[in-house]
Amino acid sequence: MSLRLDGVCVDIAGRRIVSGIDLTVADGQFVGLLGPNGSGKSTILRAIYRVHRPCLGRVLVDGANLLALKPKDAAQRVAVVAQESVSEFDFTVREIVMTGRIPHKQAFSRDTEADHAIVEGAMERVGCEHLAHRSFNTLSGGEKQLALIARALAQGADHLILDEPTNHLDIQHQVGIMELVAGLGVSVLAALHDLSLAALFCGAVHVLAAGRIVAGGPPSTVITPATIRAAYSADVLVIEHPDTGTPHLIPRRIQPETP
């Protein structure tokens, strides 16, 4: 149960967006993908869930070339919680979670008792079973994220891809979602914006800048003022988290405060 990117390059509309991406997510590891806006985090993730096709390099899931797999087989191995969320049509949370079973179903087949049990179980596990009959569009950001994670669970894959799962969430839900994801016991690759949060939960992080990985490894060695300045052109202080000793960022003003 591993995920490996081997020299992946992605072109969109003739332009190279990311190039030479090498990274590995070992069994059960939680890996963070960091980098400024537009650095190619989402593009890398989309290359893994087959929206973009790498023009060079390979994506290996358990050693198998992802693009050589049938789409359904790939979907049974890799589940995705993307940024996109439903807006046009009215689905209940249960219906959303049930779509996680699509890779396991044939045309015309009915939802079996096992499917229902898996869906119930997934909702229980993320703690959104009380939302089952609510319309997805009426949920708060945190509740939506729970429902989407439940869907990924129902998909039964052992690799989970998350694209900025804590965006727009309050601090309680940010920590809650990260804790939930870290506790699932599957291999996770997540694009993350909050570097301190990433350091708190990820076993390894990779920092992207302009489509290339500029640093990778344990958060304590990667998240340093020098790396942050190189990748984000931002001046920060890095302190140790009092509980865990992980790096924690403190932003600094660009203009020194006038007395």
Partner 1 sequence: MTPDDRAGPSPSQAARPLQASPAQAAAALSPAPAGPAPTGRRRDRTPLPVVLAACGVLLLVTMTAGVAIGSVPLSPAAVWQVIAGHLTGHPENSVAGVIVWQIRLPRVLLAAVVGAALTTAGAVVQVMVRNALADPFLLGVSSGASVGATAVLLLGAFASLGVCAISVGSVLGATIAMAAVFLVSRSGRQLAPTQLILCGVVLAAMFESVTSYLIFRGSPQATQSVLFWLMGSFGLASWNQLPIPVLALVVVMAYLLAQARPLNALAMGSELASSLGVEVPRLRRNLFFATSLLAGVAVAVSGVIGFVGLVIPHIVRLMVGSDHRRVLPVGVLFGASFMVVGDLLARTIVAPQEMPIGVITAFIGAPTLIVLIRRRPYAYGTTE
User: Which positions from 52 through 81 interact with partner 1, judged by CB under 8 A?
Assistant: 70-76, 78-80
For the chain, what's the residue count? 259
Angle between helices 171-182 and 141-154 (to 10 degrees): 10
| Whole-number Å distance between alpha carbons of 254 and 246 | 25
**Cβ-contact 43, 32 below 8 angstroms:** no
- Per CB under 8 A, the list member of 34, 96, 197, 208 interacting with partner 1 is 96
Residues within window 167-186 making contact with partner 1, judged by CB under 8 A: 184-186
Q: Which two tokens stand for residue 41?
A: 């985090």
Report the residue number, 13 or 254, with the smaller CB distance to partner 1.
13
φ, ψ at 239 (rounded to 5°): -115, 170
User: Considering the rule CB under 8 A, would residue 4 count as an interface residue with partner 1?
Assistant: no
- Per CB under 8 A, the list member of 24, 92, 167, 196 interacting with partner 1 is 92
Dihedral angle sign, alpha carbons of residues 57, 75, 99, 135: negative
Q: Checking DSSP bridges between strand 78-81 and strand 56-61, what pairing results, if any? A: unpaired
CB of 124 to partner 1, least distance (A): 4
Q: Show Cβ contacts of residue 60 under 8 Å, excluding neighbours closer than 6 positions.
A: 2, 3, 4, 5, 6, 66
CB of 227 to partner 1, least distance (A): 15
CB of 47 to partner 1, least distance (A): 12
Residues within window 98-157 making contact with partner 1, judged by CB under 8 A: 99-100, 102-103, 105, 107-108, 113-114, 116-118, 120-122, 124-125, 129-130, 132-133, 152-157
- Per CB under 8 A, the list member of 15, 89, 171, 253 interacting with partner 1 is 89
Size of the site for partner 1 (CB under 8 A): 77
User: Considering the rule CB under 8 A, would residue 38 count as an interface residue with partner 1?
Assistant: no
